[in-house]
Chains A and B, each alone.
Chain A
Amino acid sequence: MKFTEGQLFYTTFNVSEDVYDGFISTFHDRNPLHTDATFAREKGFKDKVMHGNILNGFLSCFIGEHLPYKNVIIHTQEIQYKKPVYLNDILSFTAEIISVTESVNVIEFKFFFENSEGIKVAKGKIQIGLLL
């Protein structure tokens, strides 16, 4: 499988009720910012804020399911949360390969998530290894 620097990947993710409920039922983070709309509004947000690590789940899905090569493993990832994400947001995801290290079969991406208003809500980098 050939990966090249500059190669782009696009997909969308839906922060659906199922995703939100599944995250809470799995990880038990019921902080009021994520579960109490009144509390979140008092803190200046327009509604309860989705857990940032839901986006990490989407990253896992991208690496595991959306690449044209399935034998991959995540080495490292970093993410910056820039703006809040709300329930039922549809996030456009863009990833670009920024380096290919063929000697050790490593690919590095930079990525960002954008909401339907075109606002970048998170960005970061992720490094994967190809299992040949």
Chain B
Amino acid sequence: MDRSEILEQINAIFKDTLDNDEVTVAETTIAADVDDWDSLTHIQLVVAIEKHFKIKFTSWDIQSWNNVGEMMNTIQAKGI
């Protein structure tokens, strides 16, 4: 799957999890850029992304991310 397609699907997950159709993330987006992206929402996003892509992150994966693009790197590294 190419990165634009992954980003598109991630955006759908963000909209659903944040219950906000206006939210859009880019590869450079960080949590502070998005209203309501707090620690609990972050957990919900991780759970939703794992389910959607049928992958499992490690805690190390999650701690290594500084922005959405780095999360996408991990998703692609898991064969998506």
B78–chain A nearest beta-carbon distance, Å: 12
CB pair B51–A99 under 8 Å, yes or no, is yes
Q: How big is chain B's contact interface, by range?
A: 10 to 19
Question: What's the nearest-Cβ distance from chain A to residue B71, in Å?
Answer: 12
Instruction: Considering the complex, give the chain B residue whose CB is closest to the CB of A100.
Output: B56
Q: Is the interface of B mostly helix, strand, loop or mixed?
A: helix
Once A75-B43, A75-B44, A129-B43 are accepted as A-B contacts, the answer to whether A103 and B51 lie under 8 Å apart by CB is: no
Which B residues are CB-close (under 8 A) to A108?
47
Cβ contacts A73-102/B at 8 Å (1 or 0 each): 001100000000000000000000001011
Q: How far is the CB of B74 from chain A (nearest CB, A)?
A: 10
Give the nearest-CB partner of A103 in chain B: B57
B58 CB contacts on chain A under 8 angstroms: 102-103
Which chain B residues numbered 9 to 58 have a C-beta less than 8 Å away from chain A? 40, 42-44, 46-47, 50-51, 56-58
| Cβ-based interface call for B59 (8 A) | yes
* B61 contacts chain A at the CB level, 8 A cutoff: yes
Contact check: which of B40, B51, B61, B62 meets A75 at CB < 8 Å?
Answer: B40
Q: Which 6 pairs from chain A and chain B are nearest by CB?
A: A103-B57, A104-B43, A104-B46, A101-B47, A103-B59, A103-B62
Q: List A residues at the B interface (Cβ < 8 Å).
A: 75-76, 99, 101-104, 106, 108, 127, 129
Q: List 28 A-B contacts (CB under 8 A).
A: A75-B40, A75-B43, A75-B44, A76-B44, A99-B47, A99-B51, A101-B46, A101-B47, A101-B50, A102-B56, A102-B58, A102-B59, A103-B50, A103-B56, A103-B58, A103-B59, A103-B61, A103-B62, A104-B43, A104-B46, A104-B47, A104-B57, A104-B59, A106-B43, A106-B46, A106-B47, A108-B47, A127-B47
